[in-house]
Amino acid sequence: MASRLSAAVLLAATLGLGVAAPAFAAPATVAAFDPDKDGTIDLKEAQAAAAKQFDVLDPDKDGTLDAKELNGRLTAAELKAADPDSDGTLDKKEYLAVVAARFKAADPDAEGTIDAKELASPAGASLATLLQ
């Protein structure tokens, strides 16, 4: 029951930001993206997780993600805004730039790390959609 409630909260939070959460997304936890086990996620850890996820999302291994491969992680407007060459896809550098922007939004105290409370916020949930 709690798991379904958490999934519903994550979905509501991401939809509230205009981001459609992938249907398979489970609630994110700091531990999932915290290899140094300090209880927080820094930008380097977030980008490392996102880089791995990018590779998973790129089954054709062409080095880019289109809207279908992004599977709802970005709205059409967000994809367009994050695509400076207007080719309809994001390369890894462009994807990581979106991660950096979402990380900054999820870090309101600007201390350079995201804790469990910040990850559970709507901005944190939006970041998590790119990491998992």
Q: In this predicted model, what pLDDT tens digit does every residue of 34-74 receive, in sequence order?
A: 899 999 999 999 999 999 999 999 999 999 999 999 999 99
Q: Say what the pTM is.
A: 0.78
Rounded Cα distance, 20 and 18, in Å: 6
Q: What is the DSSP string of 27-62?
A: PP-GGGG-TT-SSSEEHHHHHHHHHHHHHHH-TT-S
Res 8: pLDDT: 35
Res 128: pLDDT: 95
Res 28: pLDDT: 76
pLDDT, mean of residues 87-100: 97
Q: In this predicted model, what pLDDT tens digit does every residue of 17-31 receive, in sequence order?
A: 444 444 444 467 899
Please give the biggest Cα pair distance in the chain: 45
